[in-house]
Amino acid sequence: MNFSTKPLPGFKGYRLPLAISLLSVLAACSPEPKSREAVLVAAPPVTAAAAAIEDQSFTNPLFANGADPWLEYWQGNYYLTTTTWTSQLVMRKSPTLAGLANATPVNIWSETNPKSCCNFWAFEFHRLQGPDGPRWYMIYTSGKQENLDGQHLSVLESAGDDPMGPYQYKGSPMPDSWNIDGNYLEHNGKLYLLWSEWVGDEQLNWISQMSNPWTLTGERMVLSRPSLPWEQSGRKVNEGPEVLKHQGRTFVIYSASFCDTADYKLGLLELTGANPMDTKSWTKAKHPVFERGNGVFGPGHNGFFTSPDGSENWLVYHGNNKETEGCSATRSVRAQPFTFKQDGMPDFGTPVPEGQTVAAPSGENGPLVVVPEGVKWQVVNRATQLCLASSAQGLTEQVCDEQGSWIIDPTTKGRYRLVDSEGRFLGANRDLSAWVNQPSQQWQLNAGPDGYYQLLNAADQKPFTMTNCKAEDGALCQDWLLLPTGNTVVSSRQSGKVLSTEDCTAGNNTLVTQQSWNKQGCQQWNWKAGQAGYVQLHNSLNPELCLIVKDDALATGADLVLGNCAAKSSQWALQLLTNGAVSLLSQHTKQVVDLPSCSLFDGVGLKQTPEQSDAICQQFQLRTAD
């Protein structure tokens, strides 16, 4: 194939093969004040069953093809996004930084409009005060499917406080011009947008005040321009402005020079005046603050996060391991701690060499009292039909009500952790304690043939058993029904779109489709216990109807519809997979819910097909609706 290396108009200064701008590159998968911080507590006693804490040190890079990383630590998990080059927004989640290397990539948003569907870059998600309270706002760059001339910012809003969404499209701050690398600055009660765009032969950083996280108001001002020689390697570029606050001071760390050179690097601005919209209020450092070294080339487009205990500051960025590599899929995700000098300026040091061990961020091993984001579940014993619950005194077994007691949160190595509403984690000895990152606090979910699970402790592989169980019940005391509670959203791991109903109606034989999240009742579902260990899925718009296979058909490709809850095909095994996703297996047909052709389009009807191992189009994520 003949690759053109002609510079693309308005394209961030990148000189890439034109084919890369038109084809999907393999997807891979970034601190504001928070109102629900993790709480450090005194360490609980470690029982004999508790295995040694597993080493969570790591080496850079965390993984390949990870340009423009953004990372946040929130409620006991790290969340990471990176540029995908596709029409899908990918996020990874893990309770440890090292775990992100093998965490399951989840597509939490996708677009099909040819005017804005493609070439997704530089996702950032920020917890801001929105019209309905604190929400995560995802700002990203995308553009035309044909080329990179139409790149511009767009903003999504989360349904609740979960960084993984679901997300609703809110708008574009500047839909009719070329603009990239959006970020937010909060200062003196006002919100500002930072971004980058070209003027002549210079790529500049800009700033403007906002009336909400997706709407500009008032004038635009140049924040920085590539005026110094070290900002002009290859091309004159300032981009990727990122906010860093420390002890009352506000810095903006930005990327400088052409990203296709080994001299892509970081520069610094400080807000030394009172008004961010006054150019005289900003002071630029005369020298770069982070640049190539130790065999790492082109380090840039960074983000910041703090360790779980808040004692350490960390830098996340991308870099290359060869001087000849540029600004495409060769860039990989890297992270390392940094400090501040005596004069209050950040000291990023030099890039950590590849292969050098980096200790895990402080506080990862707790003890932490934290409630991860997620759906609440009932854990129902098969023998007694009682629910596992928690109280101030510890574990209890009680008659089930409508509320769930547990968040079942995936960790690493195919494990889950069960945490109650007080931030206490279920351990091997039926103890509830703060998170100390031990295998004894993690569980493998072993599915039986009829929808029930055994909870096998990761430390000793012993199943969790109901107490005071009758002898005749035997192994049934180790079987548990896992049942989500409340209004849940079922989101495709492939498209990020949610299970809905055709035209948002809910009559008999209404097709079940996927749609972009828009807060409608037809996109919310309730789970009820069915026969044996199976469940039924009721649409919130019409709770009298259930998800079924149309006409109870056994044929592959049969439609999924709303129908009579007495239908043979209304019973589903809710399968929790080792990667944190779920699948739905029909008791009647022995086939699973499938997204045909892995489509990204709204309105595509869900069907049943034979189960395939690791098929992303048959996997879904459960989210809360608020």
pLDDT tens digit string along 376-389?
999 999 999 999 99
How far are the Cα atoms of 229, 265, 291, 327, 500 from residue 237, in angstroms, in the given order? 11, 10, 15, 13, 44
Q: For tokens 């296979």, what's the residue?
A: 549
Residue 528 confidence (pLDDT) above 80: yes
- DSSP three-state, residue 191: strand
Confidence of residue 146 (pLDDT cuts 50, 70, 90): confident
Pair of tokens at residue 222 = 């140049």
Residues acting as catalytic residues: 68, 239
Q: Identify any residues that bridge with 252 across adjacent strands, giving them in sequence order.
A: 243, 269
- The Cα 232–Cα 84 span in angstroms is 27
Closest CA to 288 of 276, 273, 298: 298
The rounded distance, in Å, linking the Cα atoms of 260 and 68 is 14
Phi and psi angles of residue 19, each rounded to the nearest 5 degrees, phi first: -60, -30
Indicate whether 544 pLDDT > 50: yes
Distances (CA, A) of 617 to 495, 555, 607: 8, 18, 11
Domains of the chain listed by start with CATH number: 63-358 (2.115.10.20), 368-466 (2.80.10.50), 488-624 (2.80.10.50)
DSSP state letter for 293:
B
Six-digit token pair at 357?
Answer: 């061990």
| DSSP helix/strand/coil, 355 | coil
Determine the Cα–Cα distance for residues 102 and 79; give it in Å rounded to an integer: 13
* Residue recorded with tokens 């996020």: 91
pLDDT in tens, 486-515: 999 999 999 999 999 999 999 999 999 999
C-alpha to C-alpha distance for 386 and 371, rounded to whole angstroms: 24
Q: Is the distance from CB of 535 to CB of 378 less than 8 angstroms?
A: no
With beta carbons less than 8 A apart as the criterion, state whether 62 and 102 touch.
no
- Compute CA 486 distance to the chain's CA centroid, rounded to the nearest angstrom: 22
Residue 25: strand pairing partners? none
Contact indicator for 67, 20 with CB cutoff of 8 Å = no
pLDDT digits (tens, 9 = 90+) for 420-436: 999 999 999 999 999 99
Span of 474-483, 508-517, 570-579 with lowest mean pLDDT: 474-483
Instruction: List, in order, residues 6 or more apart from 282 with CB less than 8 Å away.
Output: 223, 224, 252, 269, 270, 271, 272, 273, 276
Q: pLDDT for 253-305, tens place per residue?
A: 999 999 999 999 999 999 999 999 999 999 999 999 999 999 999 999 999 99
Which residue from 183, 57, 73, 54 is spatially nearest to 123, judged by alpha carbons? 183
Looking at residue 38, its pLDDT comes to 55
Residue 604 CA from chain centroid, whole number? 24
Give residue for tokens 């944190």.
580
SS3 at position 551 = helix
Nearest by Cα to 542 from 561, 528, 521? 521
Q: By three-state DSSP, how is residue 60 classified?
A: coil
Cα separation of 523 and 625, whole Å?
Answer: 9
* Proportion of the chain in helix, strand, coil states, percent, rounded to 5: 5, 45, 50
Q: How far apart are CA 82 and CA 69, in angstroms?
A: 4
Query: Average pLDDT over the chain, rounded to whole?
Result: 91
List the structure tokens of 198.
């070209």
Cα-Cα-Cα-Cα dihedral of 506, 511, 512, 514, to 10°?
Answer: -110
